[in-house]
Amino acid sequence: MRPLPLRFPRCAAARGFTLVEAIVVIVIIGIIGAIVAVFIRAPIAGYADSVARGDTADEADLALRRMARDIRLALPNSVRVSDNGGTLELLLTRTGGRYLAAEDGVAGGLPLDFDDAKKTEFTVVGGLAAPVMAGDFVVVYNLGTGMAPADAYNLNNDPGNDNRNIARISAAAARDAGKISLADNPFARQREPMPSPGHRFQVVSEAVTYRCRFEGGRRVLRRYAGYTIEPATPATPQGGSSALLAARIDDCTNIFRYDSPASAELTQGGLVILTLALHTRSATGLGSDPNGVVRLVHQVHVDNTP
């Protein structure tokens, strides 16, 4: 018996899109896309603007907090601001304490001597709250610029280097150490002895300057530290470190304002007002957007009790 031949059903002929149909579909999709873009463009632009402003606000806030931390650690009466408000300088303290004075009448102690320049060691009452390094400075009764000998910026100003209230520490001392050794004793060579009424002293680690300047086609804010202490704020501090704190600054004037009593008898406190305005980044992420500015204001109290 022969096998029956296989039979397959006849398929209908395959048929695709015509060119006209494809063009119509493309046009319709384009119209729908344009309509959708009109509605979502504003929210996307708003989101991008919010992100840019948020990032810029964070950058400005971080810079302000960094400056505020240094200002709170400033040596009493050492904060000084340039006339245009674009530069702020201070002497940064590491620690402080109370020195043993001759009138304390403690047997076996080493008082800070204001008469004998050969005595370069003194006892710290209660010990140090933090370690100090060789090369740091001890400052006693600082009253500020122009108040020699009670002006720590006078370190390298006097020809004989005698009329000053700042002395270099010659040897490191650990926390809780009860003694500090000085390279010399300028306190005993002051033309008018200026001991602290409360027998207080501060340890200064370095000078710090915040300066806004034009650099690489943009305004930036830099922090300078570790340079030589001078009577006047240097135009560009040399010999220390420099770090970029913020870029895209809108204006280099009136960033810093220092409100403090003019009288030496009223220098118990002051107020530093920081105003930082930054341009937001452009939509490409490169450069800055001239139309977008974030401005933050921060106030820092300064304790000027010497």
Query: What percent of the chain stands above pLDDT 90?
Result: 61
202-228 pLDDT tens trace = 999 999 999 999 998 899 999 999 999
Q: Which residues contact 199 (CB under 8 A, 6 or more apart)?
A: 98, 99, 100, 101, 104, 112, 125
Of the candidates 103, 99, 190, the one whose C-alpha atom is nearest the C-alpha of residue 152 is 190
Q: Which residues contact 128 (CB under 8 A, 6 or more apart)?
A: 95, 97, 173, 174, 175, 176, 177, 180
82-86, 158-162, 211-215, 239-243: least confident range: 158-162
The helix/strand/coil state of 148 is: coil
Q: What is the pLDDT confidence band of residue 181, given thresholds at 50, 70 and 90? A: very high
Q: Encoding tokens for residue 248?
A: 């895209």
187 neighbors 140 (Cβ within 8 angstroms): yes
Q: State yes or no: pLDDT of 138 exceeds 60.
A: yes
In whole angstroms, give the CA distance from residue 135 to residue 143.
22
Q: Which amino acid, 6?
A: L
| Among the ranges given (26-35, 99-108, 199-208, 257-266), the one the predictor scored with the smallest mean pLDDT | 257-266
Query: Residue for token digits 């004998």?
Result: 116
Q: Tell me the three state secondary structure of residue 270.
A: strand
C-alpha–C-alpha distance, residues 80 and 87, integer Å: 8
Helix (H, G, I), strand (E, B) or coil at 89: strand
Q: How confident is the model at residue 105 (pLDDT cuts 50, 70, 90)?
A: confident
Rounded Cα–Cα distance for residues 23 and 25 (Å): 5
Q: Hey, where are the domains in the chain?
A: 64-88+207-303, 91-205
Rounded percentage of the chain residues whose pLDDT exceeds 70: 88
- Say how far apart CA 122 and CA 114 lie, in whole Å: 11
Residue 23's pLDDT band (cuts 50, 70, 90): confident
- pLDDT tier, 264 (very low <50, low <70, confident <90, very high otherwise): very low
Q: Are 250 and 277 in contact (CB under 8 A)?
A: yes
Taking only the tens place, the pLDDT of each residue in 43-86 is 777 777 888 889 999 999 999 999 999 999 999 999 999 999 99
Q: How far apart are CA 93 and CA 109, in angstroms?
A: 25
Highest mean pLDDT among 20-24, 31-35, 238-242, 272-276: 272-276
Cβ neighbours of residue 113 under 8 Å, at least 6 residues apart? 102, 119, 122, 185, 187, 188
Q: How far apart are CA 26 and CA 70, in angstroms?
A: 63
